[in-house]
Structure 1
Amino acid sequence: MTSIKNINFNKFSNYYKQFHHFAGKMVEKIYQTSLTAALDSAKHCLDKGDVIALPTDTVYGLACSANNEKAIQKLYAIKGRDFHKPVAICVKDIESLRHWGQAEHINDVLLEHLLPGPITIVIERSANLNNRFLNPSTSKIGIRIPDFDFIKNLCDKFDQPLALTSANKSAEQSSLNIQEFECLWPHLGGIFDGGQLGVTEECRSASTVIDLSLPGRYKIVREGIALKRTLSIMESFNIKPLL
């Protein structure tokens, strides 16, 4: 993988910080996901290399084109995230998961039990996912298929994987409505409002992350909201924990 040690990530952070004082003037970038035009607007933002905010089946997320180098750098800068800390990608279906990740050792029946839903599957990335800025410290990639119409329809329309992380500054709590990440609005190409996603603190739990990169073995990377369901599926398919 191409070395990125000489890349200056700080210039992207500084670029976005200078726009913070415009926060109260960004309402024109907010779109209701219930409107048909919202999908076209979201795709237009992604095509331009913008980062957008949108609802998922867990919390609000920040998303951009996963194979766009500049977009990934923007995503990390906006979130204030260490670029060595990986982000997941979101795809439209299991066929797409197999295109962007190496999942030959996982049968369709198991994948259909896990997805769609609040579960992220970690596998080795395929050669098709070749962005040097996407998770440069690992050859693996976490892949999600959220069970939420807007983001699934957007993945279908855009027809490329979306890099996806929670819509909040790094180390802050995840967001259940767009007002909770208002400080990020000036930095985004569009904010896609799907309303309140939940009312309890439990609803802020992220997806369960499970590493299935080794045949017949699993490792829980993050417990998340679907741990019990995930472990039950592993047991039923006789997938053993990696010790």
Structure 2
Amino acid sequence: MAQYFEVHPQNPQPRLLRQAAALLQQGRVLAIPTDSSYALVCRLDDKAAAEHLRRIRGVDDKHLLTLLCKDLSELASYARVDNRQFRLMKAATPGPYTFVLEASKEVPRRVSHPQRKTIGLRVPDHAVVRELLTILEAPLLASTLILPGEQEPLSDAQDIRTRLEKGVAAVIDAGPVAIRPTTVLDLTAMEGGGEPEVLRAGQGDLARLGLRA
């Protein structure tokens, strides 16, 4: 059965998150809360774990996975970012926005989009994720926890533990989370002087960035 870590949403217990981080270091997949629903996460450099994550989700290699980064400086290590893109992201982070950018050489080709060589990146505004990323000193590969055949992400930690007791190594419970997905912005056109494209209008406020759906 999956381990269950019940933590404080604003001040998560470091001891419990270190235990969760140890499971990730062992190549396991975890279910964790974010500022926009629960997500499945694993280490970026673990091929087997990434494949297991995709199997749980029921998606193939064309499905865009996301890197959860602790801050913009880490994000810029995994994507090509120009000044315009950086200014927009600075105004939106941390928060429920996912940015599609051209992946850098630090991103394994197997987790970037097979044709476009892009990757989704974001800096979540959730204490549990921030602390976990700090402990790991590396980003996490993530996907919204939506099970095959379903439309909405799972939002209840006990329900996730029951339904994925043999699929994930652990569930981190930090209380209620939002169930609205992130706003997804494709910023790749900005490199050539173009404008960001709204791929999905979600929880992140577009007006905050001067954009419209």
| TM-score, normalised via structure 2 length | 0.87
Quick one: which of 184, 202, 206 aligns to 1:230?
206
Contact 1:120 1:207 in 2 (8 A): yes
Q: Which residue in the other structure is 2:154 paired with?
A: 175
Letter of the aligned partner of 2:105 in structure 1? A
Q: SS at 1:113's partner residue?
A: helix
1:137 is displaced (CA, Å) by 4.2
Q: Which residue in the other structure is 2:31 paired with?
A: 53
Whole-angstrom CA distance in 2 between matches of 1:233 and 1:87: 23
Whole-angstrom CA distance in 2 between matches of 1:135 and 1:59: 23
Matches within 5 A, 1:147-226: 147-172=125-150, 173-181=152-160, 182-197=162-177, 203-215=178-190, 216-226=194-204
Structure 2: runs of 5 or more not aligned: none
Point out the more displaced range, 145-154 or 103-112. Answer: 103-112
1:174 is displaced (CA, Å) by 0.7
Q: Deviations over 1:214-238 (max 9, x none)?
A: 2241111111112xx2244135xxx
Whole-angstrom CA distance in 2 between matches of 1:133 and 1:118: 21
Structure 1 pair 219–107 and aligned structure 2 pair: CA distance change class (3 A): closer
Q: Which runs of 4+ in 1 moved over 6 A?
A: none
Q: Which residue in the other structure is 1:39 paired with?
A: 17
1:195 is displaced (CA, Å) by 1.4
Whole-angstrom CA distance in 2 between matches of 1:127 and 1:36: 32
1:46 is displaced (CA, Å) by 1.1
Letter of the aligned partner of 2:210 in structure 1? M
1:67 is displaced (CA, Å) by 2.1
Whole-angstrom CA distance in 1 between matches of 2:202 and 2:90: 19
| TM-score, normalised via structure 1 length | 0.77
Contact 2:112 2:118 in 1 (8 A): no
Aligned residues: 204
Relative contact order (alpha carbons < 8 A, sep ≥ 6): 1 or 2 greater? 2
Quick one: which of 62, 70, 73 aligns to 1:84?
62
Q: Quote the sequence identity (%).
A: 25
1:180 is displaced (CA, Å) by 3.3
1:33 is displaced (CA, Å) by 2.4
Contact 1:66 1:131 in 2 (8 A): no
Contact 1:68 1:131 in 2 (8 A): no
Q: Which residue in the other structure is 1:65 paired with?
A: 43
Q: Deviations over 1:1-27 (max 9, x none)?
A: xxxxxxxxxxxxxxxxxxxxxxxxx26
Letter of the aligned partner of 1:189 in structure 2? A
CA RMSD of aligned residues (A): 2.0
Contact 1:66 1:134 in 2 (8 A): no
Whole-angstrom CA distance in 1 between matches of 2:54 and 2:85: 33
Q: SS at 1:220's partner residue?
A: strand
Task: Determine whether 1:138 maps to 2:113.
Answer: no
Contact 1:73 1:133 in 2 (8 A): no
Whole-angstrom CA distance in 1 between matches of 2:90 and 2:82: 14
